[in-house]
Chains A and B, each alone.
Chain A
Amino acid sequence: MQNFIEINNVSKTYGNYKALNNISIRVPRQSIYGLLGPNGAGKTTLIRMLNQITAPDEGEIIFNGEKLNRSHITQIGYLPEERGLYRSMKVGEQAIYLAQLKGVSQKDAEKRLKAWFNKFGILNWWDKKVEELSKGMQQKIQFIVTVIHNPPLLIFDEPFSGFDPINVNLLKKEILELRDKGATIIFSTHNMSSVEELCDNIMLINKGQKVLEGSVYQIKQDNKDNSFEIVLRNSKPFDLPENFSLISEKTDSNGEITLNIKAENDINPNILINYLSEKGTIISYRELLPSMNDIFINKVNSL
């Protein structure tokens, strides 16, 4: 089984409101999958379906080769967008409780939790009440209880919202580590830089409809506008070859010229490099790919 999750033609309607319209996605095993989309696009509805909090009106969800059912609940770790803890309960007690609900025995839960607490250097919080902890501290605990039962599928809904930068880094590191250990990870986010950093594949969803899907690399390739940035030193004046147009030119105090050049479709940029190498010394060359943020805004606005 190549795909860990397959969602086939899923639709969901609330009253007259179509939250999801015929959505299909494939999440490859041991990869990180990003669900992108503006607020109200249907990301949370999709995630709640995977968690069996709501059921699709139509379509089916395949979990690791089987039709999704209650037995899969303990194989999913879920960090919801709206997350919290019992304020007046002790940290350790609470973490054990939440782990037990995911099917971990009390003894195992305690052992594993102590290991995680130790790893994060928070073992001395064990007997503190949650209300005594800062928000950042609570986030660490929420993360731990999400992964405590070693689930093969992890779902994070807006994991970086509300996290401080230190915890965001910690979370990114842990997410990558969990992927490398074999977990499949789905997360929804607005945070585009984290998408580029983490995701293998993404889907862009808007108003319940799939807008875009694929690997981050492929999407960037598909949406690039064939522009390049070239820095030249000691160049003589020159004209650009056919099929290339200059978008901008900038000379700095050291006499280095930064060129922003757009190519016509299907033209091999090597022509440009060969040509320019005779006009001066090429210091750097790179293809200008659109950021996920640009693609996101472009796609959503053009709908």
Chain B
Amino acid sequence: MNNLSIILKREYLTRVKKRSFLIITFLGPLFFAALILAPSLLMLKSESIETKKTIAVLDETNWFNGRFENTDINTFIYTDINENIDSLKKFIIEGIYDAVLYVPATELNVPTNAKLYSNKQIPMSLSSYIKSAMKQEVEHRKLLAHGIDPKVVKSVDTSINIATIRMDEEEGEKTIYTELESIIGMLLAFVIYLVIFLFSNQVLRGVIEEKSNRIVEVIISSVKPFELMMGKILGIALVGLTQFVLWIVLTIGIYFLANGIILGPEIMSPTGTIMTEEISQIVETSQGQDIMLEVVNMIESINFKAILTSFLFYFVFGFLLYAALFAAVGGMVDSETDSNQFVTTLSMPLMVAIVCSTGIMNNPDSGLGIWLSMIPFTSPVSMMIRIPFGVPYWQIAVSLLILVITFIFTTWIAAKIYRTGILMYGKKPSWKEIWKWLRY
């Protein structure tokens, strides 16, 4: 075994065997799975606790008598017009009615206001149903007053669907679903930002640990400082990849297990995760099959293989780039407190990429998007936002090439700072001194 692999092995094993690694590795997927399952669980729950409701209707205009449809849940009772609203309110408190709808008489003769009384929270679905039923009735009457047959209006009512289709040389035509792509893009960008930052920080802490333990000189009398630095960086990169793989496998495992147990097999959609909520909504609006099919299309339109591959690539090289910089910082300082100033400066580009992410999401092919996804210090985050929307392959290739070249150059510089810094104790170097170290 050569020195690099001995170091790499130690860096990897000591971290993987840590209790905190195990905890995060196993709690992470539980958290993700919960996040994914929560909407379906909530839906299930809200449906099951939705109790039957009786709603008294006091309609002083007498426009809406019998216009509200009784369902399994909601029963509408039409009271006498002369009934006193105050006495009806008492029935609510006594529990006879769950709610009272009061449509007061209006002078202009067009009722546009109503009040819904209840001593409990009125479900959104109920109030919106009442609103739409009233609206329909008023519009109906207005049309009649103008001498127009409502049936005619209904017959000309047309719904237009526009499918956005992008022409793509490699894959032919493709329908675009912007919302889903935005969500995936933002999620990936944020995850890549987080992991680059977290794991680079581990490199920083590792270097500072070796320095403050005073073991570093023992080690670099056996290996080159560059080998120690790279062993540490690569070891931690492997820890990161291990964590990912475990997270993905465990999340999928837990999701399907939990889905099977909690929701029962019939709700499980073949397309999985995020869509459960949408499907249920869609089924509810009873436009059924069409949209169901569209959801499947949506999922299939996302090129997960490309996304995952580029994610891994950008994670690895983005991490390597920042890890080298952070290792140099670790070499320069004596304690983590001293490192803050440098770390803040160095992680600025990542912050910029995150701040600009909404702009890029709204217009992935804008100048801002293209530039930020080319600049190596922002490209891992910015490119991840763009990739779900589809990015020309040459752009990805150029961006990755720039990233790799910058990584090699940065590592070379970082190694020089690191080499000198690890043997300096007791003082925080100035930028001028660091410049001097580069030329030793």
Contact = CB atoms under 8 A, between A and B. Distances in A.
Interface of A: 14-15, 48, 51, 53, 73-74, 76, 78-80, 82-89, 97-98, 100-102, 142, 145
Contact of A84 (B10, B215, B436): B215
Nearest to A87: B213
A83 B215 contact: yes
A237 to B, nearest CB: 63
A98 B222 contact: yes
Interface in B198-225: 209-210, 213-215, 217-223
A76 B221 contact: yes
A80 B219 CA distance: 10
A83 B217 contact: yes
Interface in B1-45: 1, 3, 6-7, 10, 14
A100 B1 contact: yes
Given A14-B440, A15-B436, A89-B14, A101 B213 contact: no
B423 interface: yes
B425 interface: yes
Nearest to B7: A101
Contacts of B425: 82
Q: Across the A-B interface, give the 8 residue pairs with the lowest CB-CB distance, nearest first.
A: A84-B214, A101-B222, A80-B217, A84-B213, A78-B221, A51-B221, A82-B214, A84-B215
Given A97-B6, A98-B219, 11 more contacts: A48-B423, A73-B222, A74-B222, A76-B221, A80-B217, A82-B214, A83-B218, A84-B215, A88-B14, A98-B222, A101-B223
B438 to A, nearest CB: 13
A102 B222 contact: yes
Given A15-B436, A89-B14, A101-B6, A73 B213 contact: no
A97 B10 contact: yes
Given A14-B440, A86-B213, A87-B213, A80 B221 contact: yes
B224 to A, nearest CB: 8
B435 to A, nearest CB: 11
Contacts of A87: 213
A85 B436 contact: no
A81 to B, nearest CB: 8
Nearest to A74: B222
Contacts of A86: 14, 209-210, 213, 215
A86 B219 CA distance: 11
Contacts of A97: 6, 10
Nearest to A70: B224
30 contacts: A48-B423, A51-B221, A53-B220, A73-B222, A76-B221, A78-B221, A79-B218, A80-B214, A80-B217, A80-B218, A82-B217, A82-B425, A83-B217, A84-B215, A84-B218, A85-B213, A86-B14, A86-B209, A86-B213, A87-B213, A88-B14, A89-B14, A97-B6, A97-B10, A98-B219, A100-B1, A101-B6, A101-B219, A101-B222, A145-B218
B213 A53 contact: no
A63 to B, nearest CB: 14
Contacts of B210: 86
A86 B423 CA distance: 17
Contacts of A100: 1, 6
Nearest to B10: A97
A270 to B, nearest CB: 53
B423 A53 contact: yes
Interface in B414-430: 423, 425
B214 A83 contact: yes
B436 A101 contact: no
Interface in B224-281: none
B218 A98 contact: yes
Nearest to A149: B222
A145 B219 CA distance: 11
A230 B222 CA distance: 54
Contacts of A88: 14
A73 B224 CA distance: 10
Q: Which of B217, B221, B423, B425 has the most CB of A within 10 A?
A: B221
B424 to A, nearest CB: 11
Nearest to A79: B218
A245 B14 CA distance: 72
Q: Which of B1, B10, B210 has the most CB of A within 10 A?
A: B10
Contact of B221 (A15, A73, A85): A73
